[in-house]
Structure 1
Amino acid sequence: MTRVALALAAAMLASVATPLSAEEMPRLERRDGRTMLRVDGKPFFILAAQLHNSSAWPDELPRAWPAAEALAANTIEAPVYWEQVEATQGRYDFGHVDALVAKARATNKRLILLWFGTWKNGQAHYVPAWMKADPVTYPRMIASNGQPVEVMSPHAEANLDADRSAFAALMRHLKAIDGTQHSVIAVQVENEPGSIGAVRDHGPVAQRAFAAPVPADIAQRLGKPVGQDWRTTFGADADEAFAAWATARYIDAVAAAGKAAYPLPVYVNTWLRYKDKKYPGIDYPSGGAVWTMFDLWRAASPSVDFIGTDIYTEDAGEYRKVLDQYARADNPSWVSETGFDAATAPFLLYVLARGGIGFSVFGIDQDPATPAGEAAVAAHRANFALLDPIRDIVAQAAFDRRLYAAVEEPGRAKQSIDLGGGWRADIAFGPPPWGDTPAILANSPKQSGRVMIVKLPDGSLLVSGIDARVELRRDESDGRHGQLLRAEEGAYQAGVWKARRWLNGDETDYGFNFGAAPRLVKVTTGTY
Structure 2
Amino acid sequence: MKRVALLAALLLGAPLPAMAEEMPRLEQHDGRYMMRVDGKPFLILAAQLHNSSAWPDVLPRAWPAAEALAPNTIEAPVYWEQFEPARGRFDTRNVDALIARARASGKRLILLWFGTWKNGQMHYVPTWMKADTATFPRMIDARGEPIDVMSPHAPANLEADRDAYLRLMRHLKEVDGDRHTVIAVQVENEPGAIGSIRDHGAAAERAFAGPVPAAIVAKLGRRPGDWRTVFGPDAEEAFGAWTTASYIEAIAAAGKAVNPLPVYVNTWLRYKDKKYPGIDYPSGGAVWTMFDLWRAASPSVDFIGTDIYTDDADEYARVLDRYARPDNPSWVSETGFDAKTAPYLFYVLARGGIGFSVFGIDDDPMTPAGEAAVAAHRANFTLLDPIRDIVAQAAFDRRLFAAAEAPGRAKQVLDLGEGWQAALAFGPPPWGDTPAILANSPKQSGRAFVVRLAANSWLVGGIDARVELKRVAADGSHGQLLRVEEGDYRAGEWHATRWLNGDETDYGFNFGAAPRLLKVTTGTY
TM-fit CA distance, 1:146: 0.4
Report the counterpart of residue 299 of structure 1 in structure 2. 296
1:319 corresponds to 2:355: no
Could you tell me whether the CA contact under 8 Å between 2:340 and 2:445 is conserved in 1? yes
TM-fit CA distance, 1:432: 3.8
**Cα pair distance change 1:254/1:489, threshold 3 Å:** same
Structure 1 alignment gaps of length 5 or more: none
Report the counterpart of residue 153 of structure 1 in structure 2. 151
Could you tell me whether the CA contact under 8 Å between 1:6 and 1:95 is conserved in 2? no
TM-fit CA distance, 1:431: 4.8
Q: Compare 344-353 and 12-21 and name the one that shifted more.
A: 12-21
Report the counterpart of residue 190 of structure 2 in structure 1. 192
TM-fit CA distance, 1:170: 0.1
Report the counterpart of residue 133 of structure 1 in structure 2. 131
Could you tell me whether the CA contact under 8 Å between 2:456 and 2:523 is conserved in 1? no
TM-score, normalised to structure 2, is: 0.98
Q: d(CA) in 2 for partners of 1:509 and 1:10?
A: 57
Aligned residues: 524
Q: d(CA) in 2 for partners of 1:113 and 1:141?
A: 27
One-letter amino acid of the structure 2 residue matched with residue 120 of structure 1: K
1:39 corresponds to 2:37: yes
2:433 pairs, out of 425, 431, 436, with 436
TM-fit CA distance, 1:474: 1.2
Could you tell me whether the CA contact under 8 Å between 1:6 and 1:99 is conserved in 2? no
2:23 pairs, out of 25, 31, 49, with 25
- For residues 108-144 of structure 1, give each alpha carbon's deviation from its aligned partner in whole angstroms, at most 9, with x where no partner exists: 0000000000000000000001111111110100000
- For residues 280-332 of structure 1, give each alpha carbon's deviation from its aligned partner in whole angstroms, at most 9, with x where no partner exists: 00000000000000000000001111000000000000000000100011110
Report the counterpart of residue 497 of structure 2 in structure 1. 500
1:68 pairs, out of 48, 66, 69, with 66
Query: 1:339-488 to 2 correspondence within 5 Å?
Result: 339-457=336-454, 459-488=456-485
Q: d(CA) in 1 for partners of 2:132 and 2:473?
A: 75
Q: d(CA) in 2 for partners of 1:12 and 1:390?
A: 30
1:172 corresponds to 2:167: no
1:102 pairs, out of 100, 103, 115, with 100
Could you tell me whether the CA contact under 8 Å between 2:267 and 2:287 is conserved in 1? yes
Secondary structure of the residue that 1:308 maps to in structure 2? Answer: strand
One-letter amino acid of the structure 2 residue matched with residue 275 of structure 1: K
Report the counterpart of residue 305 of structure 2 in structure 1. 308
Q: d(CA) in 1 for partners of 2:417 and 2:176?
A: 44
Q: d(CA) in 2 for partners of 1:423 and 1:183?
A: 40
- For residues 419-463 of structure 1, give each alpha carbon's deviation from its aligned partner in whole angstroms, at most 9, with x where no partner exists: 112211111112544111111111111100001111113541111
Secondary structure of the residue that 1:150 maps to in structure 2? Answer: strand
Could you tell me whether the CA contact under 8 Å between 1:10 and 1:99 is conserved in 2? no
- For residues 394-425 of structure 1, give each alpha carbon's deviation from its aligned partner in whole angstroms, at most 9, with x where no partner exists: 10001111000111001111111111122111
**Cα pair distance change 1:389/1:515, threshold 3 Å:** same
Q: d(CA) in 2 for partners of 1:277 and 1:294?
A: 16
Q: d(CA) in 2 for partners of 1:149 and 1:242?
A: 18
One-letter amino acid of the structure 1 residue matched with residue 354 of structure 2: I
Q: d(CA) in 2 for partners of 1:414 and 1:390?
A: 26
Report the counterpart of residue 260 of structure 2 in structure 1. 263
TM-fit CA distance, 1:9: 4.9
**Cα pair distance change 1:9/1:178, threshold 3 Å:** closer
TM-fit CA distance, 1:15: 5.9
Q: d(CA) in 1 for partners of 2:241 and 2:454?
A: 43
1:519 corresponds to 2:516: yes
One-letter amino acid of the structure 2 residue matched with residue 519 of structure 1: R
Q: d(CA) in 1 for partners of 2:95 and 2:429?
A: 51
Q: d(CA) in 1 for partners of 2:261 and 2:504?
A: 47
Secondary structure of the residue that 2:485 maps to in structure 1? Answer: strand
- For residues 225-255 of structure 1, give each alpha carbon's deviation from its aligned partner in whole angstroms, at most 9, with x where no partner exists: 12x1001111100000000000000000001
Secondary structure of the residue that 2:159 maps to in structure 1? Answer: helix
Q: d(CA) in 1 for partners of 2:69 and 2:366?
A: 14
One-letter amino acid of the structure 2 residue matched with residue 425 of structure 1: A
Secondary structure of the residue that 2:267 maps to in structure 1? Answer: coil
Could you tell me whether the CA contact under 8 Å between 1:464 and 1:520 is conserved in 2? yes
One-letter amino acid of the structure 2 residue matched with residue 135 of structure 1: T
Q: d(CA) in 1 for partners of 2:469 and 2:200?
A: 61
Q: Compare 25-34 and 163-172 and name the one that shifted more.
A: 25-34
Could you tell me whether the CA contact under 8 Å between 2:80 and 2:126 is conserved in 1? yes
Report the counterpart of residue 280 of structure 2 in structure 1. 283
Secondary structure of the residue that 2:241 maps to in structure 1? Answer: helix
Q: d(CA) in 2 for partners of 1:22 and 1:510?
A: 45
One-letter amino acid of the structure 2 residue matched with residue 26 of structure 1: P
TM-fit CA distance, 1:14: 5.6
1:248 pairs, out of 245, 249, 254, with 245
Could you tell me whether the CA contact under 8 Å between 2:412 and 2:424 is conserved in 1? yes
One-letter amino acid of the structure 2 residue matched with residue 236 of structure 1: P
Could you tell me whether the CA contact under 8 Å between 1:433 and 1:513 is conserved in 2? no
TM-fit CA distance, 1:477: 2.1
**Cα pair distance change 1:118/1:432, threshold 3 Å:** closer
User: Could you list the runs of 4 or more consecutive aligned residues of structure 1 that deviate by over 6 angstroms after TM superposition?
Assistant: 5-8
Could you tell me whether the CA contact under 8 Å between 1:10 and 1:98 is conserved in 2? no
TM-score, normalised to structure 1, is: 0.97
One-letter amino acid of the structure 1 residue matched with residue 87 of structure 2: Q
Q: d(CA) in 2 for partners of 1:380 and 1:88?
A: 40
Could you tell me whether the CA contact under 8 Å between 2:429 and 2:464 is conserved in 1? no
Report the counterpart of residue 92 of structure 1 in structure 2. 90
Q: d(CA) in 1 for partners of 2:396 and 2:415?
A: 18
Structure 2 alignment gaps of length 5 or more: none
TM-fit CA distance, 1:475: 2.1
RMSD between aligned residues: 1.4
2:54 pairs, out of 53, 56, 68, with 56
Q: d(CA) in 1 for partners of 2:381 and 2:185?
A: 21
Q: d(CA) in 1 for partners of 2:158 and 2:10?
A: 32
